[in-house]
Structure 1
Amino acid sequence: MISFQPLPRRAIALAAAASIAVLTGCSTLSGPGAPTATTSSTAEDTVISDDLAVLEEENLEAAIAHLVEDVEKEFGATVSLAIVDGKQDFLAGADGSEPAWSTIKVPIAIAALRDGASEELVDAAIKESDNDAALALWNQVEWTEGSAQHSIEDLLNSFDSEVETDEAFGMSTWKVKDQARFASHLGCIPEAEYVYDAMSDIVDWQKWGLSGLDGVHSKGGWGLDEDDGEYTSRQIGVMPVDGGEIGIAVSASWQTWDDDNSYLEDSGYDAVEDISAAALDEIASRLEILIEKALETGELDPVNDCSETSRLAPVATESSADSTEEPAQESGN
């Protein structure tokens, strides 16, 4: 069984969730920070038992739908969840069409390495979620292939994963279903090996949710959409299991505007950050057990045949002289 680092106590999580009702905002003068990884107890046995009961009485999709509904009620969030194995997609909640934030750095890093980018930049962009490093990787693809947006879209499309890229790449739309599809094949892509390994070495202060699961390769992203006041924390992950790998993607979001469509104080933004880490921790701990049980019953069939994995198109050999303008940078991560 994949072991999980201790999670926040549910009592603390509930208190934080209650505070969101009145303190769900941030200052427009400060960019979004990161949720803080915390330690405490795992999800309560009674909650796990309820999840497993739904799985046994119905199926995995019903069980993750139960999980999502439970977490949404407890944490006041809108949750999107996808699991992809070698046969099908399992979806629950919303579609996760909020900004991709730093999860989009995974395909950016893969494309950039193919175009000669340095591994040091990949380490910074993936392990530490450094935005400047990610911008340098994006520019590497832009200068080499003429359009970073088209290159990233082509890369993902070749693995049946749709994306709508944006010049401010963190604002790209990459739904959880499409993220999990790509993640399920990540270990089969030779060009992705370095990125795949980096996703298992995330800095300690970002180890919440999927990143807190031992053995899971993951990348998180978080940020505030200033157009609608929605704060989102999301993750893309690959779970190695006996016989192959499972792709996972999760997103949780909160509204941070008050009734007058204005932001509240920094203390409210801190509350959103804390509750997002607690919510993703809760999802990950419960999801791990459901996946293990579904593997035992045969409902999940891991991706294990890399011969059926799509291969990336050849790397472009000419640079575009007209592609030197840097994309706009978003304030999230």
Structure 2
Amino acid sequence: MTPAPPRLEASFRELAAAVPATIGVAVARSDVADVLSLGRWSSGVAWSTIKVPLAIAALRRDPARAQELVVKAITESDNEASERLWSQLGDPARAALQVQAVVAECGDADTAVESQRIRPPFTAFGQTQWSLDSQARFAAGLPALGDAAIVVDLMRQLTTDQRWGLAAKGIAAKAGWGPGSADDYLVRQFGIVPTESGHLGVALAAQAGAFDAGVAVIDAMADWLVAQLPAIREP
């Protein structure tokens, strides 16, 4: 883990104190192994962010069958389309291994994709435990994966109702959200931020009281991130 510059850490503490959520952010550089992490929230359920490696795995398996479903799964975050992509990968155990292989190829060797529907009616894959550090590392490695280009391009073409947080700033992004087991709601998003020397993989999360509140916090976090990019890019 890369230690945050003191001014950056202080700025993030101010943000965390001002928003009605428990938040976290992780930033990974494509050319550096360590990840910069800030905030109290560090790991939890992937929700729809896992649809990115799922889409890539399905396109690898059968591009013709998967292509239309991938567009819906990424740009609209359509759950039915995502379930159909999952079923195209075989039985749940085989499907999970194929999605996990994509995650590992992008630099995240720690995340195990969930194969069982442990919390009906939610998808098995959506309940994957995905830490912010690991997700930021995945995002940083994604552009180097040649057959991911179609999916990354779709991450820049989200429908209007999906275009918040990083996506509202024109950044290739995918969000995920869902209720917790207590009286809480998790909203998270990851994206690929271009820089002069390459790109950054960024992962954001807000554990709030409701979806709308979480989205508003992710918006504030995206504003903070863009404003702090010069400090974040310091070696």
> TM class, shorter-chain normalised?
0.7 to 0.9
Question: How much does 1:60 deviate?
Answer: 4.4
Find the counterpart in structure 2 of residue 251 from structure 1. 205
Give, in whole Å, the separation in 1 of the partners of 2:186 and 2:179. 6
Pick aligned residue for 2:128 from 172, 182, 202: 172
What SS does the corresponding residue of 1:247 show, helix, strand or coil?
strand
Find the counterpart in structure 1 of residue 143 from structure 2. 187
Question: How much does 1:293 deviate?
Answer: 4.5
Farther off after superposition, 145-154 or 164-173: 145-154
Q: TM-score with structure 1 length normalisation?
A: 0.62
Pick aligned residue for 2:10 from 66, 85, 89: 66
Find the counterpart in structure 2 of residue 135 from structure 1. 83
Question: How much does 1:158 deviate?
Answer: 3.0
Find the counterpart in structure 2 of residue 149 from structure 1. 96
Give, in whole Å, the separation in 1 of the partners of 2:73 and 2:80. 8
The answer to which structure has the higher strand fraction is: 2
CA-to-aligned-CA distance 1:57-103 (integer Å, 9 cap, x gap): xx845444334432332222111110001213101113532211100
Tell me the C-alpha RMSD between the 2 structures: 2.0
Amino acid at match of 1:171: Q
What SS does the corresponding residue of 2:51 show, helix, strand or coil?
helix
Find the counterpart in structure 2 of residue 7 from structure 1. none
* Unmatched tracts of structure 1, length 5 or more: 1-58, 257-271, 301-333
Give, in whole Å, the separation in 1 of the partners of 2:93 and 2:128. 18
Q: Is the 8 A contact 1:221 1:234 kept in 2?
A: yes
What SS does the corresponding residue of 1:174 show, helix, strand or coil?
strand
Larger of the two Rg values belongs to structure:
1
Q: Is the 8 A contact 1:61 1:90 kept in 2?
A: no
Q: TM-score with structure 2 length normalisation?
A: 0.86
User: % of aligned pairs identical?
Assistant: 32
Greater relative contact order: 1 or 2 (C-alpha under 8 angstroms, separation 6 or more)? 1
Q: Is the 8 A contact 1:64 1:287 kept in 2?
A: no
Find the counterpart in structure 1 of residue 217 from structure 2. 279
1:162-241 matched pairs, under 5 angstroms: 162-166=110-114, 167=116, 168-214=124-170, 216-225=171-180, 227-241=181-195
Q: Is the 8 A contact 1:80 1:94 kept in 2?
A: yes
* Unmatched tracts of structure 2, length 5 or more: 117-123
Find the counterpart in structure 2 of residue 84 from structure 1. 28
User: Compared with structure 1, are the counterparts of its residues 110 and 61 closer, same or farther at alpha carbon in structure 2 (3 Å cutoff)?
Assistant: farther
Amino acid at match of 1:140: Q
Amino acid at match of 2:186: T
